[in-house]
C-alpha cells in the first residue's frame, strides 16, 4: 500500500532512460516536496544491473535532497524481473509492483498497474532490450478504486489496436504476425481491470502524446514523453 503524503502528486511520462530520469529529478524546477509516480518506460534493465544500481542510487539521493518520494512503475521498456526478483531498498525511491493500491489523505484511492506490449519487439533482442513477459498479467480485482495509474490503457480509447494499421508503425504488424492479437489482449486486460475496479479516471504513458478522452463513462489522460502533470485528487 502506498500512502501519498499529500492530495496532490506529480505523474511523470516515459523517460526511456535512467540517466534521463536522474536529470529530470535533479534539474526540473518546482518538483520539490512532491510524491511522483513514474508511469513506466525508464529503460530499467537496458544497460545492465550495475548501471541500474548506480543510477537508482543517484536518483534516490537527489530525491532525498528535494524531499521527493518517487514511485516507479514498470513499462514495456523495463525488465519485469527487476520488479519481481530484485530487492532494491531505497529511502525515497520505490519500484512499484503491479496491482499496488494507493491512498491519498482525503481517502481517495488508486490502483497502480504496469506492463504493455512493445510494438517494435521484432526489431529488439530478447533479454537485452525486450522481455517476453512484458505484458500485464490479469488478476481479478475485488475492490473499487477512484483512479487507475497504468503504463498502458484500455483498448476503447482512440489509440486502440486498430489504430496501428493506419499508424507509422503498421510495418511491425506485417513483420510480427502475433503482434496485433497480443496488443489487443494486453489492452483488453486493462479494460477488464477498469471494469473490475470501477474507476472514473485512467492515466497512462506509453503512447507519447497528450491525448484526453472520455468513453464508457471513463475519462482517460495520456502523459507525453517526460511530461510532468500535477494530479490533484481533490479535483479529479
- Res 110: pLDDT: 98
DSSP string across 70-97:
EEE---TTS-THHHHT-----SSEEEPP
- Res 145: pLDDT: 98
- Res 148: pLDDT: 98
Q: What share of the chain is helix, strand, coil (3-state, %, to 5)?
A: 30, 20, 50
The full set of domain ranges for the chain reads 2-232
CB-CB contact of 159 with 208 (8 Å): no
- pTM of the predicted protein model: 0.97
CB-CB contact of 147 with 108 (8 Å): yes
pLDDT in tens, the chain (236 residues): 999 999 999 999 999 999 999 999 999 999 999 999 999 999 999 999 999 999 999 999 999 999 999 999 999 999 999 999 998 999 999 999 999 999 999 999 999 999 999 999 999 999 999 999 999 999 999 999 999 999 999 999 877 788 888 888 899 999 999 999 999 999 999 999 999 999 999 999 999 999 899 998 999 999 999 999 999 999 99
- Res 158: pLDDT: 73
18-27 and 49-65 helices, crossing angle to 10°: 10
2-232 to CATH, choices 3.40.50, 2.20.25, 3.60.21, 3.40.1350: 3.60.21
DSSP 133: T
Amino acid at each position: 500500500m502506498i500512502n501519498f503524503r499529500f492530495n496532490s502528486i506529480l505523474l511523470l511520462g516515459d523517460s526511456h532512460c535512467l540517466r534521463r530520469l536522474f536529470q529530470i529529478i535533479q534539474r526540473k524546477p518546482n518538483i520539490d516536496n512532491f510524491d511522483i509516480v513514474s508511469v513506466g518506460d525508464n529503460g530499467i534493465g537496458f544497460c545492465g544491473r550495475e548501471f541500474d544500481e548506480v543510477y537508482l542510487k543517484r536518483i534516490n539521493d537527489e530525491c532525498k535532497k528535494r524531499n521527493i518520494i518517487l514511485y516507479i512503475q514498470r513499462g514495456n521498456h523495463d525488465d519485469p524481473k527487476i520488479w519481481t526478483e530484485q530487492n532494491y531498498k531505497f529511502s525515497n525511491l520505490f519500484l512499484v509492483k503491479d496491482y499496488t493500491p494507493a491512498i491519498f489523505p482525503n481517502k481517495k484511492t488508486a490502483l497502480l498497474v504496469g506492463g504493455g506490449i512493445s510494438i517494435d519487439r521484432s526489431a529488439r533482442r530478447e533479454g537485452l532490450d525486450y522481455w517476453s513477459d512484458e505484458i500485464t498479467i490479469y488478476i481479478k480485482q475485488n475492490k473499487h478504486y477512484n483512479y487507475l495509474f497504468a503504463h498502458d490503457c484500455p483498448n476503447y480509447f482512440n489509440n486502440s489496436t486498430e489504430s496501428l494499421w493506419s499508424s507509422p508503425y503498421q510495418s511491425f504488424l506485417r513483420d510480427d504476425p502475433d503482434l496485433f492479437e497480443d496488443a489487443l489482449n494486453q489492452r483488453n486486460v486493462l479494460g477488464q481491470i477498469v471494469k473490475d475496479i470501477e474507476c472514473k479516471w485512467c492515466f497512462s504513458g506509453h503512447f507519447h502524446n497528450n491525448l484526453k478522452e472520455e468513453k464508457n463513462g471513463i475519462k482517460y489522460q495520456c502523459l507525453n514523453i517526460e511530461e510532468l502533470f500535477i494530479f490533484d485528487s481533490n479535483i479529479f
